[in-house]
Structure 1
Amino acid sequence: MVVYGMQLPVQSQSALYAEPWEAAAGPEDLVAVARAADAHGFDYVASCDHVAIPRRLAGAMSTVWYDTVATLSFLAAATERVRLLSHVAVVGLRHPLVTAKAYATLDHLSGGRLVLGVGAGHVQEEFEAVGADFAGRGAVLDETIDALRAALGPEEYPEHRGERFSFGGLGQLPRPAQERVPVWVGGSSPAAVRRAALKGDGWLPQGDPRGRLAEQIVRLKRLREEAGVEAPITVGAITEALYVGEPAWETGRRALTGKPEALAESLRAYGEMGVHQIQVRFRSRSRTELTDQMAAFAAEVAPHLR
């Protein structure tokens, strides 16, 4: 069975995917979309993470990036069931204890709905501004995942002794509601796939086309098997942009549109290659059209994915 989740609109407005209506949207729109996801069986809603965007990238990325923990905490209070995913937290920008405090509190307040997605990051100026190590961000992320495993575990006084971070004898309450917070590793580079295979409870590829994704999944499983990791891993995928039905406007040549059965047939290919959860994105001209698309997907497409 393939479950489905979505990246929230409004909270990040990269030119790669933001719809025009999002520019004038705000908190009430985020709540409406999150509640629709909650009502229509979406597994998770996701929020991105950037601290600051340099001018050289602002044209493509924009500077609209809501704080991840604040956004997911705000939406936790407005929803009941849907999980809350950081996609992805650039954890190398912060000390692991700072990250653990924020996300443990979020998991505690939401009743155990956090999925911690982590990634290495790519904006050099952002790292430099906060005094973080950009050149060594991969190694920093590797150790940070280990440190977060300890700091988000059940112990009030977590301990970690590593090359870059060392802590012990420091209590942090509240603890997460979950006994083990799932950590999903983002990225599609060889290093990211290896990191997901060896350290992740899940893998969040970043837009791999279908053919390449199938090859990546084979490599992921092989690396995990070679390392003797027997625990299951949740494999994700970001689908093409979707529109349920025949749109009366131009949705772009790469969007999947049409009858629900046809969309489901196309999306089932992800499950056949070993994907467990798909992140869907809908083309829309308004918040209402987006929530209508979410409802149509849940009622007419999702049943064919099971």
Structure 2
Amino acid sequence: MTAGSLRYGIQLPVQSQSTIYAESWEAGAGPGDLVEIARAADRAGFAYLACCDHVAVPRRLAPAMSTVWYDPVATLSFLAGVTERVGLLSHVAVVALRHPLVTAKQYATLDHLCGGRLVLGVGAGHVPEEFETLGVDFARRGPLLDECVDALRAALGPEEFPAHHGKAYDFEDLGQRPRPAQPAVPLWVGGSSPAAVRRAALKGDGWLPQGDPRDRMPAQIGRIRQLREQAGLDGPFVVGAITEPLYVGPPAWDVGRRTISGAPEAVAESLRAYRAMGVHQIQVRFRSRSRGELVDQIAAFGAEVAPRLD
């Protein structure tokens, strides 16, 4: 496992607008808002900006999920050009929807262009219609993701002519340049099912939980440690967590009963509990009524909460 300071990143607003978490102002937002938010996170010391992945949302799910899902490669590339140091995370790319060489070409180019700031987060996906329409067997998405991870390890490594020989994908003697700027692009696995946790522990460089409440985290982290120990894996591994919604300072409006709010020390004290569990990076989301309020929240977190996390 990885030691050190508790790092913090943000799942970007606007680029995905599920009714579960989107604020009302996001419906009218666009590229300029994303730029200002990304720059604010960059200034505030955030470890990464995260972007989701859905190719198309079926009509039956649109009322809950909405159909607003920006493409992660295009979005992260756009934001790489207007930021300086913040990392760029796909949370998560549904890589089984595409051939690994296509995915590798896109993300290797992104990492090359941004100077090595990419973290590739991958997950199994959950929308059958996406898979069926793109000609991929939804029932086999788990084994396909397992093989995709292996194929991407090869295709995103240092070799110009990577090789992979598997059941679903087979390639060699096919060159791809530019290569990633990083010698090895970090690969974090998302999901909280037993299969996803096992995949993260055995195949990933990190774990991105999906909706685990705080009280479930210790057991999940314990399982990851057990699986890695049993497999003889002792290299660096990043454990993530998605926090409750946050609001820095006393809110003057109803931010919801689950929201952690109040003075910076109170917010930091609550978040320090994640580090005590064995979490290395937290993904935060702030309640806000406008882009301006969100930018202010990001700045307040970086200046007043982050120094107290450790």
TM-score, normalised on structure 2? 0.98
* Distance in 1, Cα, partners of 2:50 & 2:86: 10
How far off is 1:181 after superposition? 0.1
* Distance in 2, Cα, partners of 1:132 & 1:213: 32
Structure 1 ranges of 4+ moved more than 4 A: none
How far off is 1:207 after superposition? 1.6
Residue type matched to 2:161 in 1? Y
Q: Which residue of 2 aligns with 1:203?
A: 207
* Distance in 1, Cα, partners of 2:48 & 2:137: 31
2:27 to 23, 32, 50: 23
* Distance in 1, Cα, partners of 2:13 & 2:215: 27
* Distance in 2, Cα, partners of 1:289 & 1:227: 46
Q: Is 1:256–2:260 an aligned residue pair? A: yes
* Distance in 1, Cα, partners of 2:215 & 2:43: 33
Alignment of 1:129-144 (within 5 A): 129-144=133-148
Q: Which residue of 2 aligns with 1:115?
A: 119
SS in 1 for 2:244: strand
How far off is 1:17 after superposition? 0.4
Residue type matched to 1:96 in 2? P
Q: Deviations over 1:77-105 (max 9, x none)?
A: 00010000000000010000000000000
Extract unaligned runs of 5+ from structure 2. none
Q: Which residue of 1 aligns with 2:277?
A: 273
Calculate the aligned-residue CA RMSD, in Å: 0.5
2:107 to 94, 103, 110: 103
* Distance in 2, Cα, partners of 1:25 & 1:210: 31
Q: Which residue of 1 aligns with 2:159?
A: 155
Q: Is 1:92–2:92 an aligned residue pair? A: no
Residue type matched to 1:44 in 2? Y
Aligned length, in residue pairs: 306
* Distance in 2, Cα, partners of 1:179 & 1:38: 24
1:49 to 25, 30, 53: 53
Q: Which residue of 2 aligns with 1:231?
A: 235
SS in 2 for 1:135: helix
Q: Is 1:212–2:212 an aligned residue pair? A: no
SS in 2 for 1:55: coil
* Distance in 2, Cα, partners of 1:260 & 1:4: 15
Q: Deviations over 1:163-207 (max 9, x none)?
A: 110000100000000000000000000000000000000100012
* Distance in 2, Cα, partners of 1:287 & 1:99: 32
SS in 1 for 2:268: helix
SS in 1 for 2:9: strand
Q: Is 1:283–2:303 an aligned residue pair? A: no
How far off is 1:289 after superposition? 0.2
Q: Which residue of 2 aligns with 1:299?
A: 303
* Distance in 2, Cα, partners of 1:146 & 1:83: 23
TM-score, normalised on structure 1? 0.99
* Distance in 1, Cα, partners of 2:113 & 2:134: 28
SS in 2 for 1:243: strand
SS in 2 for 1:140: helix
How far off is 1:232 after superposition? 1.5
Alignment of 1:239-254 (within 5 A): 239-254=243-258
2:149 to 133, 140, 145: 145
* Distance in 1, Cα, partners of 2:214 & 2:39: 30
Q: Which residue of 2 aligns with 1:177?
A: 181
Extract unaligned runs of 5+ from structure 1. none
Q: Which range moves more in the overlay, 206-215 or 188-197? A: 206-215
* Distance in 2, Cα, partners of 1:236 & 1:230: 17
SS in 1 for 2:285: strand
SS in 2 for 1:103: helix
Residue type matched to 2:11 in 1? Q
How far off is 1:33 after superposition? 0.5
How far off is 1:230 after superposition? 1.3
How far off is 1:133 after superposition? 1.6
Residue type matched to 2:45 in 1? G
